Amino acid sequence: MIEMSGAGFIGVTTYSEDSELLLELLGAGRRLADKLGVPLSAVLIGNVIDEEKRKEAIRHGADKVYVVEDPKLEAFGVEPYRAALLGAVRDVSPEVLLIGGTKRGKELAPRVATALETGCMSDCVALDMDSERRLVGRRLTYGGSTIAEVACLKKPQMATIPPKAFEKPAPSERTGEIVSLKVELPESKVKVVERRAKQQATFRIEDAPIVVSCGRGFKKKEDVKLLEELAEVLDAKVSCTRPLAADYHWMQEWVGLSGHKIRPKLYIAAGVSGTIQHVAGIRDAQTIVAINSNEEASIFNIADYGIVGDLYKVIPALTKALKEKLGK
Amino acid sequence: MVNIIVLMKDIVDLTEIKVDPSTQRPILAGLSRKISDVDKRAVEAAVQLKEKHGGKVVVVSLGDDKTRTALREALAMGGDEAYLLRDPAFDGSDTLATSRILAAAIRKIGDYSLILCGEMTLDSLSAQVGPRISELLELPQVTYARRVELKGDKIMAERDLEDEDEVVEVSMPALVAVTREINEPRIPALMNIMRASRKPLQEWNCAALGIPSEEVGAAGSAVKVLEVKAPPMERKRIIIKAETEEEAAKSLVERLIKDGVLK
């Protein structure tokens, strides 16, 4: 535990309008609260918050649950939600405030941070308290090609956390306090005319479990057929690096810094050199396989398995081996 | 008629970044700079609204002497006036301090009904400056807008959220942060580039904006960057060696099956 006071700011507080993400925040928050030796709380905001949601937060680690209920909070609007969260935070005066990094959370957090004249570290994928009682976060910068370590020097120290960055803690039967707060709320200045559920018709490469990609090692567009045959056996999607799409127009879209960022179970890169711009798009792939004729290619440094060889020979051999092994 | 202020940032060309293998730090010195992609689309959106409804487009950027090139480009795209906010006291500003500087400039410009910016700049990826300025200027905010239209004294916008699309309506003055899907920015014609060199580009420092210097720069910031690195990836890095391509391929497939990646 850190032996130093929070100077009038006490505890770790969490908020997300997404109830799954809130539990992940409680997981991240619990660790920080334990390190600081302070309580962990959750703020729940809405028209009516049901009993189960309050208990769920306690089961997942909250010592206190603050509830702000008001008919103006029926649907998310940044002005009333800002006022509700700000009201709760002013009341609680936490040392650390974590907000779920959904799009709504990320339009809310800077508003609250500005009203409190403090800093907010966006999209932290790791968080810790250092020996000086500073909240230190790790977050992607430069389009995803680098990771920055940042610290919040003012209190409350704020961060937003993207979904799935932290584990949801296992629920346990524990006790906690539930406090209802009354906050004066404005009407929303932005009128929602229409809400449309997203159409899921278009396939997103982000959802493909296996992706095979070609890079400049391919000599001409027709050769991509080799990769398509491999993709068929694997039930995979085919993609490419930026030059092939943006410069040569072989495909519409690409994987990388300026393209799609994917996290498939398996990523096979053929004829891909492995610039940091491309790597930014595949950083979170579970397993990376690289095929390249240049054994010095930097793609091999970030691959789990590499085959040094001519892709025009290796890919057909791989397709054949897969057919045999997988019985297709 | 609509007077629009566009906030934009010129950033290093991300496609040029390389990593120093000994320190793992990105090498940023000497890289060319350009208008951050989403911000450029905010400029385009402003110019399109002006072309349709009349009015003027004022572009504002916090930067250094090189930022003049980016501002001139925005003027060539159709901007009418530009302001460069530049002072050594601004160095090291985080989103809190940056927003104070930009908000002060917007107050000083005064005559506007719409503020446009990109949802985030691609170097810092914070997505905070737009909402922070809304807070400071007490303006209604519309974020993640992929379509913006003017309807009388109101803005109609289509917002791109995770689970749904939202069509919203808001009275001006307002702040709208746009996404990269909103448009394809134009490439200015030579004639317009030449014209842009004669358009007004003014520079304001900390004193001109009337901000206490302790509220800006590193002194006025709450978030400090401790370290930036190209993150190492934990990978197996196994090179499969075999006599033939067939054997290498077979060995790879066996390993992937053994790892549970393939079934």
pLDDT the model gives residue A1: 62
* Positive/negative CA dihedral, B41, B43, B44, B48: positive
- What does the pLDDT average to over B77-90? 98
The ipTM estimated for the assembled molecules is 0.91
- Tell me whether residue B225 is in a domain: no
Domain residue extents for chain A: 12-181, 205-326
Min Cα distance B90 → chain A (Å) is: 16
Q: Does B259 share its domain with B154?
A: no
Tell me if A117 and B96 make a contact (CB, 8 A cut-off): yes
Min Cα distance A183 → chain B (Å) is: 18
Residues in chain A closer than 8 A to B37 (CB atoms): 258
For residue B235, give the nearest of A115, A143, A304 by CB distance: A304
Residues in chain B closer than 8 A to A144 (CB atoms): 125
Same fold, A12-181 and A205-326: yes
Q: Is the pLDDT of residue A136 over 60?
A: yes
The neighbour count for residue A247, using CB atoms within 10 Å, is: 10
For chain B, give the longest Cα–Cα distance: 74
Q: Does B144 share its domain with B243?
A: no
Q: How confident is the model at residue A4 (pLDDT cuts 50, 70, 90)?
A: low
- Tell me whether residue B220 is in a domain: no
Strand partners, B239: A306
Tell me if A305 and B228 make a contact (CB, 8 A cut-off): no
Q: Of B59-63, B79-83, B85-89, B121-125, which gets the smallest average pLDDT?
A: B121-125
Beta strands in chain B (DSSP E): 2-7, 10-12, 18-19, 26-27, 33-35, 55-62, 81-85, 114-118, 141-151, 154-160, 164-171, 174-178, 201-204, 223-229, 238-239
Q: Which is nearest to B104 in space by CA: B144, B66, B81, B132?
A: B132
- B 65-124 near A (Cβ less than 8 A): 94-96, 99, 122-124
Residue ranges making up the domain that contains B261? 233-263
Region class of A79: left (phi > 0), else alpha (psi between -120 and 50), else beta? alpha
Q: Does B33 share its domain with B126?
A: yes
Q: Is the pLDDT of residue B231 over 80?
A: no
Min Cα distance B242 → chain A (Å) is: 9
Residues in chain B closer than 8 A to A114 (CB atoms): 96, 99, 131-132, 135-136
pLDDT digits (tens, 9 = 90+) for A74-122: 999 999 999 999 999 999 999 999 999 999 999 999 999 999 999 999 9
- What does the pLDDT average to over A183-196? 94
* The CATH classification of domain A12-181, taken from the options 2.40.30.10, 1.10.510.10, 3.40.50.620, 3.10.20.600: 3.40.50.620
pLDDT the model gives residue A189: 94
- What does the pLDDT average to over B209-231? 94
Q: Higher confidence at residue A325 or residue B86?
A: B86
Return the structure tokens found at B119: 């949802």
The answer to whether residue B236 neighbours chain A at the CB level (below 8 Å) is yes
State the pTM of this model.
Answer: 0.86
Fold of the CATH domain A205-326: Rossmann fold (3.40.50)
Tell me if A192 and B262 make a contact (CB, 8 A cut-off): no
Return the structure tokens found at A257: 């810094």
- Tell me whether residue B35 is in a domain: yes
Q: Does B207 share its domain with B238?
A: no
Spatial separation of the C-alpha atoms in residues B38 and B36, rounded to whole Å: 6
Number of domains present in the structure of chain B: 2
For chain A, give the longest Cα–Cα distance: 70
How much of chain B exceeds pLDDT 90, in percent? 87
